[in-house]
Amino acid sequence: MAILNPRHEEGFFYLLAGIGGLVSAIGFAAALYMEHSGHVVTGMNNQIVWGLPHVIAIFLIIAASGVLNVASMGSVFGRVLYKPRAPLSGLLAIAMLSGGLFVIMLDLGRADRLIVAATHFNPTSVFGWNVILYPVFYALVGVYLWTMMERRMNPYSKAAGLATFVWRVVLTSGTGSIFAFLVARQAYGSALLAPMFIIMSFSWGLAVFLVVQTTMYAWNNMSLPPLIQKRMKNLLATFVAAVLYFTFMLHLVNAYFAKNIAFEYFILFDSEFASQFWIGQVLLGSLLPLVLLFSPSTRDKVLWVNVAALLVILGAYFQLYVFIIGGQAFPLEIFPGYDVKSSFMDGAVDHYSASLPEVLLAVGGLAIAFTMTTIGVRILHFLPQDDLAELEAASGITD
């Protein structure tokens, strides 16, 4: 039984789809404005060249990979509880990757030149790898969805799921490697970043999936079976703790090298980013969700589990903002061991404040993902259908 009568429910769907489409169009218009007016209308400068749109885009790309972990748990690892959720995770992966690439391509400018990058592949550039990584990801997820939703293709679902699982690990490693290979900046240039991005994708993707799944169940006046909520809640807590551990190790390893001590002190204690790191990323995005997910008074309540998931998403924003913007704000060490002074802010900490067009473009990417998900769920009926008998049989299985 639906919450709204069919006529009102249909009208509400068109309203949501219309709002999503409108916000997406505004984001596109903001990108055209920046393309026409130039770099000067953004909050970026010659030192901070990746702004808020990149923060949101990278979140969407990382979470798009991680949200497929739900499908992998069912198809590849045979977890019965996750199998009904596999199609929804595939839809979210395609929608979020589309939103992320929408922002990336428009924020970089000259999106029409993409054909040049596609036809002149540079294997020595990690950016060049993306020309292969993203299209193959789309193709594999599309085939994966086909094998899950077409009965006669079901026997190939596990093979398609395994290929998708391997490729999404490769894709996320490639995204992390973009920063891992940037040795010129103290914030980056670490081999830890590739595995760290993988575990971040697991955490953020699962958090997004939990929020979307709960919204779908509420829309249809249904409740998530307690066993499923418990398993997914425990899995999210594990991923959040793992991200926190990798964050600690990244800063510890950086601080071990004398050349990075100044940056670590800057980012952790002596900058505008310090409060965002400790309060936004660590407290709100990690510790508080862990408390909500483990506390006896909140761990079994759908509301608080979803609050924890939303906090994880909020923490992801702070983490990427500190990592991307803070990493660029600290001055480049062009000549190690020497002081550099000129009229071009050499050796000076820079500042960044996102302009309105940048905010609109970033929100436009989120709207793309929202609109695609809303329409896909409506047309293809991605609501997970759980078999209670299977759930009872799986009740003794541990994740």
**HEC letters along the chain:** CCCCCHHHHHHHHHHHHHHHHHHHHHHHHHHHHHHHHCHHHCCCCCCCCCCHHHHHHHHHHHHHHHHCHHHHHHHCCCCHHHHHHHHHHHHHHHHHHHHHHHHHHHHHCCHHHHHHHHHCCCCCCHHHHHHHHHHHHHHHHHHHHHHHHCHHHHHHHHHHHHHHHHHHHHHHHHHHHHHHCCCCCCCCCCCCHHHHHHHHHHHHHHHHHHHHHHHHHHHCCCCCCHHHHHHHHHHHHHHHHHHHHHHHHHHHHHHHCHHHHHHHHHHHCCCHHHHHHHHHHHHHHHHHHHHHHHCCCCCCCHHHHHHHHHHHHHHHHHHHHHHHHHHHHCCCCCCCCCCCCCCCCCCCCCCCCCCHHHHHHHHHHHHHHHHHHHHHHHHHCCCCCCCHHHHHHHHHCCC
Q: How many CB atoms lie within 10 A of CB 362?
A: 25
Tokens of 296: 């006896």
Q: Is the pLDDT of residue 4 over 60?
A: no
> pLDDT tens across 62-71, in order?
999 999 988 8
Which of 86-95, 121-130, 253-262 has the weakest average pLDDT?
121-130
The percent of residues above 70 in pLDDT, for the chain, comes to 92
Q: CA 50 to CA 375: how far, in whole Å?
A: 31
d(CA 271, CA 277): 10
pLDDT > 90? residue 311? yes
The pLDDT mean for the chain works out to 87
Exposed, middle or buried by CB within 10 Å (0-12, 13-18, 19+), for 257? exposed
pLDDT for res 3: 46
- The predicted-structure confidence for 135-193, as pLDDT tens digits, reads as follows 999 999 999 999 988 888 888 888 998 999 999 999 999 999 889 888 778 888 888 99
Rounded Cα distance, 36 and 41, in Å? 10
Q: Which candidate, 29, 55, 46, 63, places its Cα nearest to that of 361?
A: 29
CA nearest neighbour of 365 among 106, 109, 99, 107: 99
> What is residue 6's predicted lDDT score, i.e. its pLDDT?
63
Range of lowest pLDDT (7-11, 67-71, 141-145, 194-198):
7-11
Rounded Cα distance between 67 and 23, Å, is: 24
In this prediction, residue 398 has a pLDDT band, given cuts at 50, 70 and 90, of very low
Stretch 40-46: mean pLDDT: 89
| pLDDT at 197 exceeding the cut of 50 | yes
The larger pLDDT score, comparing residue 1 to residue 250, is at 250
Interval 288-317 mean pLDDT: 94
